[in-house]
Amino acid sequence: MKRLLIICAGFALLTAANAAFGDLVPIGDPVETGSWNQLFNESGVGPFDFVAVKMVSTGDFFESPTHTNLAAGWTEHSSPTVAYADGPGLTNMTWTINFEGAQGDPLVFDFYAYWGNTWLECARATWTGSGWSISPWDSKLSRSEIVAAVPVPAAVLLGLLGLGTARMKLRKHV
């Protein structure tokens, strides 16, 4: 009886662990586009409204834009080594991640999924130059840490600077 309880408890823990890590899956073959890209699907973690990638391998970069073919209402924000996309909550999304360099060059990146500020998943994706290996990873960067790692585009900064200047000029005339 004790052995049966241990087996059942082990099965319950394994089921819970698998549910917590969701399922980032590459779809089809990579596509060369000057650089290259891969279609991915995320599902199995429940609703999510934020996905991110962080390049781990030294000297490798994401192409800009990094996330393309996103679901309706989703927006991407990228730098060469960190990118995220956010939008309305989904339980399943298929989109493209774009990489710089040759398709035959190995690389490693971490993938994150969040619902609000709640961490749902981190997986380490390893491209060997000919195939993917994706496994659960224990790197819990917060959503705010990921967002802070992506610089605000210069056009936005210039726009904000322009608004501040215009406001100061208006104050002088009032």
pLDDT digit string, tens, across residues 117-136: 999 999 999 999 999 999 99
Residue 152 belongs to a domain: yes
- pLDDT-based confidence at 23, cuts 50/70/90? confident
SS (H, E, C) 100-132: CCCCCCCEEEEEEEEECCEEEEEEEEEECCCCE
Does residue 17 lie within any of the structural domains? no
Higher pLDDT, 83 or 19: 83
pLDDT of residue 91: 97
In a domain? residue 7: no
Residue of higher predicted confidence among 81 and 139: 81
Q: Is residue 161 part of a domain?
A: yes
Number of domains in the chain: 1
Q: Look at residue 165 and tell me whether its pLDDT is greater than 70.
A: no
Provide φ and ψ at 86, rounded to 5°: -140, 160
Q: Is the pLDDT of residue 144 over 60?
A: yes
Higher-pLDDT residue of 110 and 15 is 110
4 domain-assigned? no
- What gap in Å lies between CA 164 and CA 150, rounded to an integer? 23
- pLDDT tier for residue 153 given thresholds of 50, 70 and 90: confident
pLDDT at 99: 98
The answer to whether residues 14 and 8 touch, using CB atoms and an 8 Å cutoff, is no
Which segments within the chain are labelled E, that is strand?
23-33, 35-55, 62-68, 75-78, 82-99, 107-115, 118-127, 132-136
- Distance from C-alpha of 146 to C-alpha of 149, rounded to nearest angstrom: 5
User: What pLDDT sits at residue 86?
Assistant: 98
Neighbouring residues of 56: CB distance < 8 A, sequence distance ≥ 6: 108, 109, 110, 124
Please compute Rg for the chain using Cα positions.
20
Domain CATH number, residue 51: 2.60.40
Instruction: With respect to residue 76, please indicate whether it lies within any of the assigned structural domains.
Output: yes
Domain range enclosing 67? 22-173
